[in-house]
């Protein structure tokens, strides 16, 4: 049904997503998350959208992964969290995951998503000049708002993480 | 790049449903992570996995309908997710500074 490249990337993505949540050390989890994002970028290349794939690699594998790894180094704590998860909640979460997978999966399989309504994979690929055109004409207010949001978020994160910001009266001693 | 061209000539086309199924699996894994994990950084990982599953859906439908707007929306979504990660990690750092802990069940007095 699907070709081997697709299956390989799917196994890589899903497997490293599981590893990122279940690894014992948080830093290995961060690296596995970056590999999972790389797998998603591989899917984007398979879907003939190399521009979005490069953006994904730049933002996720480049910026977000480095940010997460630095945070993991900063908040290094001696406690291992896997020991303190109770078994009941873990099995309940697993059952919830299986229910979601089978429920949503069977819903999608019986929904006839592969019929003509949603086009076909043989339709012409989107040229990335079209993306630029859309972004600078119809979506230009959204682009400006996005730039403002990013600037606000970065300044907010800097203000949050500033060390002088915490007055001694807010410091908890417990 | 030659193998890519070769593959493109002889490939079986991946249907839309394959990508949607992978996306569903990723969403389920992310929800499992949010429900089970108590580490704030791991909950952020789970959020990222869910956001990426949504992006995969957007790109898959955009490819099949050959519509550029799906890709534009995915680009916006990726940028917003980056901003969200920056703020989330800032909050985690400040919570660690206050509680010396990133276990979300220890954050008992978030009321301020």
Least confident of A70-84, A109-123, B29-43: A70-84
Residue B111 lies in a domain: no
Residue, of A102 and B112, whose pLDDT is higher: A102
Residue B15 structure tokens: 């249907």
**Which CATH number characterizes residue A32's domain?**
1.20.120.1200
Residue A22 has pLDDT above 70, yes or no: yes
Residue A141 lies in a domain: yes
A23 touches chain B (CB under 8 A): no
> Using H for helix, E for strand and C for coil, what is the string for chain B?
CHHHHHHHHHCCCCCHHHHHHHHHHHHHHHHHHHHHCCEHHHHHHHHHHHHHHHHHHHHHHHHHHCCHHHHHHHHHHHHHHHHHHHHHHHHHHHHHHHHCCCEHHHCCCCCC
CA distance A132 to chain B (A): 8
Residue A171 has pLDDT above 90, yes or no: no
Residue B109 lies in a domain: no
Q: Residue B20: which domain range?
A: 11-104
Share of chain B above pLDDT 70, in %: 85
Residue A141 pLDDT: 93
Residue B75 lies in a domain: yes
Residue B4 lies in a domain: no
Cα A37 to Cα A13, A70, A147, A169, distances in angstroms: 7, 18, 23, 41
Residue A112 has pLDDT above 80, yes or no: no
Residue A85 lies in a domain: no
Chain mean pLDDT for chain A: 84
Instruction: Flag if B41 and A68 touch (Cβ within 8 Å).
Output: yes
Q: Residue A140: which domain range?
A: 127-174
Residue A119 lies in a domain: no
CA distance B64 to chain A (A): 5
Nearest CA in chain B to A56: B78
Residue B110 lies in a domain: no
Instruction: Flag if A108 and B67 touch (Cβ within 8 Å).
Output: no
pTM score, two decimals? Answer: 0.85
A160 touches chain B (CB under 8 A): yes
Residue B30 has pLDDT above 90, yes or no: yes
Among A78, A112, A140, which residue terminates a domain? A78
Cβ neighbours of residue B59 closer than 8 Å, sequence gap 6 or more: A43, A44, A47, A49, A52, B70, B71, B74
Domain count, chain B: 1
This model of the complex carries an ipTM of: 0.85
Residue, of A24 and A76, whose pLDDT is higher: A24
Tell me the CA end-to-end span of chain B in Å, nearest whole number.
56
Residue B97 pLDDT: 82
**Which CATH number characterizes residue B44's domain?**
1.10.287.3510
Pair A37, B52: CB distance under 8 Å: yes
Instruction: Flag if B91 and A49 touch (Cβ within 8 Å).
Output: no
Average pLDDT over residues B47-56: 94
Among A78, A96, A114, which residue terminates a domain? A78
Residue A83 lies in a domain: no
Residue A131 lies in a domain: yes
Residue A79 pLDDT: 52
Residue A88 lies in a domain: no
Instruction: Flag if A94 and B92 touch (Cβ within 8 Å).
Output: no
Please list every residue in chain A whose beta carbon sits closer than 8 Å to the beta carbon of residue B52: 36-37, 40, 60
Pair B102, A173: CB distance under 8 Å: no
Q: Which pLDDT band, with edges at 50, 70 and 90, does B46 fall under? A: very high
**Are A1 and A73 found together in one domain?**
yes
Domain count, chain A: 2
**Are A72 and A134 found together in one domain?**
no
Residue A113 has pLDDT above 90, yes or no: no
Calpha distance A62→A43 (Å, rounded): 18
Q: Nearest Cβ partner of B82 from A47, A59, A122?
A: A59
Average pLDDT over residues B68-87: 91
Residue A80 has pLDDT above 60, yes or no: no
Residue A70 lies in a domain: yes
Among A37, A54, A78, which residue terminates a domain? A78
Residue A33 structure tokens: 């998350």
Torsion angle defined by CA atoms of residues B105, B78, A34 and A23, in that order, rounded to the nearest 10 degrees: 20
| Chain Cα centroid distance, residue B70 | 16
CA distance A137 to chain B (A): 12
Residue A92 lies in a domain: no
Length of chain B: 112
């Amino acid at each position: 049904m699907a070709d081997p490249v697709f299956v390989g990337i799917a196994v890589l993505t899903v497997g490293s997503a599981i590893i990122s949540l279940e690894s014992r050390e948080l830093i290995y989890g961060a690296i596995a998350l970056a590999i999972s994002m790389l797998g998603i970028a591989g899917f984007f290349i398979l879907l003939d959208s190399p521009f979005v794939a490069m953006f994904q690699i730049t933002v996720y594998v480049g910026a977000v992964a480095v940010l997460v790894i630095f945070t993991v180094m900063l908040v290094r704590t001696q406690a291992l969290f896997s020991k303190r998860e109770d078994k009941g909640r873990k099995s309940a979460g697993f059952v919830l995951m299986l229910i979601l997978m089978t429920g949503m999966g069977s819903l999608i399989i019986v929904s006839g998503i592969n019929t003509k309504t949603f086009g076909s994979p043989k339709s012409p690929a989107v040229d990335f000049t079209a993306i630029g055109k859309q972004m600078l004409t119809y979506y230009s207010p959204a682009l400006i708002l996005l730039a403002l949001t990013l600037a606000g978020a970065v300044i907010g994160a800097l203000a949050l993480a500033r060390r002088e910001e915490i007055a001694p009266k807010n410091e908890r001693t417990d | 790049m030659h193998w890519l061209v070769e593959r493109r000539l002889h490939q079986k086309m991946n249907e839309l449903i394959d990508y949607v199924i992978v996306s569903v699996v990723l969403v389920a894994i992310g929800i499992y992570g949010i429900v089970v994990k108590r580490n704030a950084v791991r909950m952020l990982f789970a959020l990222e996995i869910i956001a990426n599953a949504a992006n995969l859906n957007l790109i898959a439908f955009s490819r099949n309908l050959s519509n550029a707007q799906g890709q534009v929306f995915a680009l916006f979504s990726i940028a917003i997710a980056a901003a969200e990660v920056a703020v989330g990690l800032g909050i985690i750092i400040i919570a660690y500074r206050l509680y010396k802990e990133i276990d979300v069940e220890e954050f008992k007095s978030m009321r301020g």
